[in-house]
Amino acid sequence: MSNYLSGRTSLTTVQTANLADDAVTLAKITSGTDGELITWDASGDPSAVPVGTATHVLTSNGAGAAPTFQAGGGGWEFVSMQQASASSTIAFTGLEDGYDHKFMATTIDPSADMYLEIVLGTGVTPTWVTANYETQKIVHSSTTVVGERETAAPDMNMNVVSHASNGGAAGEYIYGFEVTLIDPGDGTSLPSVHWTMGADNNGGNFDVLSGWGFNSGATAVTALRFEPSTGTFTSGDFFLYRRANS
């Protein structure tokens, strides 16, 4: 056998029985693309699963079909968190088409009595849109229920303007809010924003606020910014989550 192999640099045919278990190393496997996975096609031959998109998950397509990377369905995934500290605004950028986005916050302490406002941005480096907002909102307070509609506004005011503002006095907080932005970047429909919030008002009462708004001019939104109508956010934690909507 040694004489037969003498001088040969490779073999073109190797019988399976001549290979020891675990003899083929990673270095002996043909090169591929980072992110691909090995599968078998309908003929039983080795094949590669193409590279997926970031955050997509490997999904079975049933017997006789190769798996594919697809957007995960249903669940919200954490994206980022920002902590306010004498902040005049809190902005989240890089919002993507194909995803709904949820913004949540807890224990926001404003420096002065204020209204919490939402502004939308467009473009890679956001251009903040300061016109053409419409909102419908309602406040349930300890003493009254007040509703309001605003049109052609410079922002989405989350409170009812005729009602007392939120936070600012000693021990007064915006205890938390949840804001949902539906598929902001599809470019074909008006970006729709829904919110709920719990807060003190400057009369020492508790408010529960809810509302809905949109912008009639910005159809491909890439950013969302929270800002106080006056003063700053002394403290508070702001979170961004997203989920695929297709």
Q: Residue 14: pLDDT above 80?
A: no
Q: What does the pLDDT read at residue 7?
A: 54
Write down all domains in the chain, each with its CATH number in brackets: 1-70 (no CATH), 77-244 (2.60.120)
Mean pLDDT confidence for 35-64: 77
Query: What is the overall mean pLDDT for the chain?
Result: 85
Lowest mean pLDDT among 5-14, 18-27, 49-58: 5-14
Q: Residue 75: pLDDT above 90?
A: no
Q: What does the pLDDT read at residue 203?
A: 60
Residue pLDDT, tens place only, 162-189: 888 888 776 788 989 999 998 887 777 7
pTM of the full structure = 0.72
- Binned at pLDDT 50, 70 and 90, residue 104 comes out as very high
What is the token pair recorded at 87? 């902040």
Contacts of 95 (CB under 8 A, 6+ apart): 101, 181, 184, 185, 221, 222, 223, 224, 242
Q: Residue 39: pLDDT above 70?
A: yes
Residue pLDDT, tens place only, 127-151: 999 999 999 999 998 788 999 999 9
What is the token pair recorded at 242? 């997203």
What DSSP string describes the chain? -HHHHTT----S---GGGSPTT---GGGSPP--TT-EEEE-TTS-EEEEPP--TT-EEE---TTS--EEEPPBS--EEEEEEEEEEES-EEE----TTEEEEEEEEEEEESSSB-EEEEEEETTTTEEP-S-EEEEEEEEESS-EEEEEEEEESSEESS-TTS--B--STT--EEEEEEEEE-TT-SSS--EEEEEEEEEBTTS-EEEEEEEEEESS--SEEEEEEEESSS-EEEEEEEEEEEE--
How many CB atoms are closer than 10 A to CB 203? 14
Q: How far apart are CA 28 and CA 202, in angstroms?
A: 72
| Residue 195 and residue 179 in contact, taking contact as beta carbons nearer than 8 Å | yes
| Residue 238 and residue 79 in contact, taking contact as beta carbons nearer than 8 Å | no
Of 163, 123, 116, 156, nearest to 139 (Cα)? 163
Q: What does the pLDDT read at residue 50?
A: 80
In the block, tokens 């190393």 appear at 25
